[in-house]
């Protein structure tokens, strides 16, 4: 009989699997989806198990657990041993990471950001130094050229400073240029900012941003899906960009060439259903070519920080206000509360009642549900939305959900 394990032990298994070099998030997510739960992974027949059906991948995992490669995965005896060894290995890793000030949140964790749960290609887990963006507080990603102009620098400081002072969280990649300028200004304005890296959270890249890296860790958080120790590599940055846009409600583009990494983030943000605001530039300036093109394609004009604040207030966060610093520190940036399991049926009906044929953003759904139940749990809301989509009761596209007009809720 398969062993029953606790959530803490599942986290240890996830930590171990995420640490095995050569085992990527896509295969882990597919395995989790196919096997339903992490403990099932070790009991499923090898030939039908996405994680172990590949010989090289099997050797990597068994080698990390110091087990014989010839062992056939599947069945109770081998499954029990794999389970116990992976839990023990994960426990060691979590302790080592904790000493370095690194937390690990697998995708099934209650603390995993609700904004990322709706991404089709969401991270299997997140490594964090500091905290995570709060679910109930608006966030804006400020992105743009690394080699920016003086105009781009001043505009970035203006927007980042004003938004951060109003309590908006600033998301970016801690890169040279617009990214770093916006994040530094957000901290100077007394706000909180979060840097998403294309390397391990224990690796400062670029190296000259060491002071900024330390400041972000203290006044927000450093976030990555890559295991600690992973060196910065150009192939990792396009992937991390989907997390930048995923954690934000709005993307603000300040100076961008027509072909650049900024465009990758914008494309991913559009696929996620995010609103794009763009700072206009001179038509003769190559650094503004991408921005002006986006405006021509229908992006919103970022003429002032107030425009973005008005959008956030009207669409997602009406009535929100800046939290006290002490409140953030007490909860490590997460505002969660308990919710009774027996209320799930009631929640489903409430969600269905909020939706119609017009797509509604998940943050708006959560905010409206909170008006009738102040102790509602963000993770539960996302879980119910996902289940309702699977059941065909509602339809979802990115972070937007609406009624399935061909079905009726009973």
DSSP track, 208-229: GGHHHHHHHHHSEEEEESSPTT
Token pair, residue 214, equals 């330390």
CATH code, 337-403? 1.10.10.10
> In angstroms, rounded to a whole number, what is the distance separating the alpha carbons of residues 378 and 216?
25
How far is residue 3's CA from residue 10's CA, in Å, rounded to a whole number? 12
**What is the per-residue pLDDT for 409?**
40
Which residues of the chain fall short of a pLDDT of 50? 322-342, 407-410
Quote the pLDDT of residue 401.
Answer: 84
Q: Where are the beta strands (DSSP E) in 317-361?
A: 360-361
Task: Kindly list the domain boundaries of the chain, sorted by start residue.
Answer: 7-99, 128-315, 337-403
pLDDT of residue 343: 53
Q: For residue 216, what pLDDT is reported?
A: 97
State the sign of the Cα–Cα–Cα–Cα dihedral 284, 289, 295, 299: negative
The listed CATH number (3.10.20.30, 3.30.497.10, 3.40.50.450, 3.40.50.620) that belongs to domain 128-315: 3.40.50.450
Tell me whether the CATH fold assigned to 128-315 matches the one assigned to 337-403: no
- Laid out side by side, the sheet with 394-397 consists of 360-361, 400-403, 394-397
Query: In the prediction, which pLDDT does 388 show?
Result: 83
pLDDT tens digits along 250-282: 999 998 877 767 878 888 888 888 889 998 888
Q: Express the helix, strand and coil content of the chain in percent, nearest 5 each.
A: 50, 10, 40
Query: How confident is the model at residue 105, as a pLDDT?
Result: 96
């Amino acid at each position: 009989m398969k062993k029953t394990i606790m959530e803490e032990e599942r986290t240890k298994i996830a930590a171990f699997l995420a640490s095995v070099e050569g085992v990527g998030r896509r295969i882990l997510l597919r395995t989790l989806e196919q096997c339903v739960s992490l403990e099932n992974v070790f009991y499923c027949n090898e030939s039908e198990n996405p994680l172990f059906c590949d010989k090289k991948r099997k050797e990597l995992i068994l080698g990390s657990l110091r087990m014989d490669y010839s062992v056939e995965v599947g069945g109770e005896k081998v499954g029990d041993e794999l389970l116990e060894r992976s839990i023990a290995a994960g426990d060691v890793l979590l302790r080592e990471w904790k000493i370095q000030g690194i937390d690990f949140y697998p995708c099934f964790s209650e603390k995993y950001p609700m904004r990322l749960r709706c991404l089709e290609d969401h991270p299997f887990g997140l490594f964090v130094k500091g905290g995570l963006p709060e679910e109930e507080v608006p966030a804006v990603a400020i992105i743009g050229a690394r080699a920016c102009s003086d105009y781009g620098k001043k505009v970035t400081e203006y927007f980042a400073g004003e938004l951060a002072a109003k309590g908006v969280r600033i998301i970016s990649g801690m890169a040279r240029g617009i990214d770093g300028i916006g994040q530094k200004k957000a901290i100077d304005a007394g706000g909180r900012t979060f840097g998403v890296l294309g390397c391990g959270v224990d690796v400062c890249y670029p190296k000259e941003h060491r002071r900024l890296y330390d400041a972000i860790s203290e006044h927000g958080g450093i976030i990555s899906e890559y295991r600690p120790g992973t060196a910065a590599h150009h192939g990792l940055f396009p992937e991390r960009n989907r997390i930048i846009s995923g954690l934000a409600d709005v993307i603000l583009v300040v100076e961008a060439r027509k072909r650049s990494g900024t465009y990758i983030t914008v494309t991913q943000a559009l696929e996620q259903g995010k609103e794009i605001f763009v700072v206009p530039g001179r038509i003769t300036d190559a650094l503004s070519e991408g921005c002006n093109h986006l405006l021509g394609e229908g992006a919103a004009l970022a003429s002032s920080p107030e425009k973005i604040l008005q959008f956030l207030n009207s669409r997602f966060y009406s009535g929100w206000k800046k939290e006290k610093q002490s409140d953030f520190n007490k909860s490590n940036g997460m505002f969660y509360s308990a919710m009774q399991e027996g209320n799930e049926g009631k929640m489903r009906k409430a969600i269905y009642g909020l939706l119609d044929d017009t797509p509604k953003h998940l943050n708006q759904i959560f905010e409206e549900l909170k008006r009738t139940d102040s102790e509602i749990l963000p993770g539960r809301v996302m879980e119910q939305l996902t289940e309702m989509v699977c059941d065909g009761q509602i339809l979802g596209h990115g972070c937007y959900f609406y009624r399935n007009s061909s079905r009726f809720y009973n």
